[in-house]
A and B are shown apart, each in its own frame.
Chain A
């Protein structure tokens, strides 16, 4: 079913990180979907393009970079707006993210306020001032 709410997808194996986003999603009017792995997220991403994708790097099995390269080759996702989030905060990773067309690279930890700001910045309804 189509929805007029902005669609946000998070792919992160961290339960705590997903909880941060879920709390933001409860407060804002978002169509939010969280997945713990790249493989699991394909249930959504194989058929739909979110308004904004948040993607972690270090995950079991497929890492975020490898996954994003695969997504960029997918007709639905060659331009999917993506924010990379990671406990890594290295220049090399920022460069690789940029080469994959990532909007922004954000180092963890990320506060709820920062999550709202990112959604507001790139989608417009994260209720950044809530």
Chain B
């Protein structure tokens, strides 16, 4: 039987929040490790990847990994310049993310290390680096099967689905669910009565699309950045209100949801309150879905 697990190394959205009041949840930005025996997959390179890299330098069993990026906003790539395995000749690293080609992916990752923004460029990386070509049929890394889909966030952004250790896992760090539905509600006055049926069909199409991407998965790690109060003023920033995330996950028959990409202004108590309200929603809807806070250091056996 395989030894498969995932571990959260960074759970914050937008920017790191290394404050004492935040550290039960964690202050580092997006990074999740997925392991299946000696196969290592990393989702995103936020500040969480720095600590992961430090640990990997002491792991004598591993010398290869794949790192996937959902997109190239700072909070998902800013740990990469400090990722020690990239500077070590003992490692082989495959990178993949949104882009037309492997060259496109390389450019987007390496640009942040150019002067005057960083003292050394990716040419100083001593690891064997491969940038992977896009493939709509998906990727594989050892026994892990990987597919990706577009999500609702500024710029081209991917959500990833993995089949690992007999479990299905979906990682959607940044995604604003229900956006079209609320756009229609706000602008319904622009439409004639005979157009309303088609608008309802558009809402239904988007819902079906959001559900199908995560339907029935064992584990969903999903953007749940805002409270309803904060979402009111931050609609259109590309992130979800946790209430919408929880309801979507229930509708999709997800077995276990990890709330993720926590707002950096929320301290431990505020995130705990989000969790309690999420559990209340699940109870009220009569669902048996598990729901947890994605916390830094949390290891989940697969």
A31 within 8 A of B: no
Which chain B residues border A46 with CB–CB below 8 Å? Answer: none
Count of residues in B whose CB is under 8 Å from the partner chain: 27
Within 8 A of B (CB), among A69-109: 69-70, 87-93, 96, 107-109
Nearest-neighbour CB distance to chain A for B146, whole angstroms, equals 15
B248 within 8 A of A: no
In the complex, A70→B198 CA distance in Å?
Answer: 31
Which chain B residues border A69 with CB–CB below 8 Å? Answer: 100
Q: Check A15–B201 contact: CB distance below 8 A.
A: yes
Question: With A65-B156, A109-B187 in contact, do A16 and B180 touch (Cβ < 8 Å)?
Answer: no
Within 8 A of A (CB), among B144-158: 149-156
The chain B residue sitting closest to A19, CB to CB, is B198
Which chain A residues border B1 with CB–CB below 8 Å? Answer: none
In the complex, A87→B149 CA distance in Å?
Answer: 16
Among A3-11, A55-63, A118-126, the stretch in contact with B: A55-63
In the complex, A90→B234 CA distance in Å?
Answer: 12
B142 within 8 A of A: no
Which chain B residues border A88 with CB–CB below 8 Å? Answer: 152, 154, 179
Q: Check B191–A111 contact: CB distance below 8 A.
A: yes
Which chain A residues border B195 with CB–CB below 8 Å? Answer: 20, 111-112
Nearest-neighbour CB distance to chain A for B214, whole angstroms, equals 15
B211 within 8 A of A: no
Which chain B residues border A20 with CB–CB below 8 Å? Answer: 195, 198
B301 within 8 A of A: no
A66 within 8 A of B: yes
Nearest-neighbour CB distance to chain A for B43, whole angstroms, equals 20
B276 within 8 A of A: no
Nearest-neighbour CB distance to chain A for B190, whole angstroms, equals 5
Q: Which residues of A contact B (CB under 8 A)?
A: 14-17, 19-20, 57-63, 65-66, 69-70, 87-93, 96, 107-109, 111-114
Q: Which residues of B contact A (CB under 8 A)?
A: 100, 136, 149-156, 179-180, 183-184, 187, 190-192, 195, 198-199, 201-202, 205-206, 236, 238
A selection of 23 A-B contacts at a CB cut-off of 8 Å is A15-B201, A16-B201, A20-B198, A57-B150, A58-B151, A63-B150, A66-B100, A66-B156, A70-B100, A87-B152, A87-B206, A89-B179, A90-B155, A90-B236, A91-B154, A108-B180, A108-B183, A109-B183, A109-B190, A109-B202, A111-B192, A113-B190, A113-B192
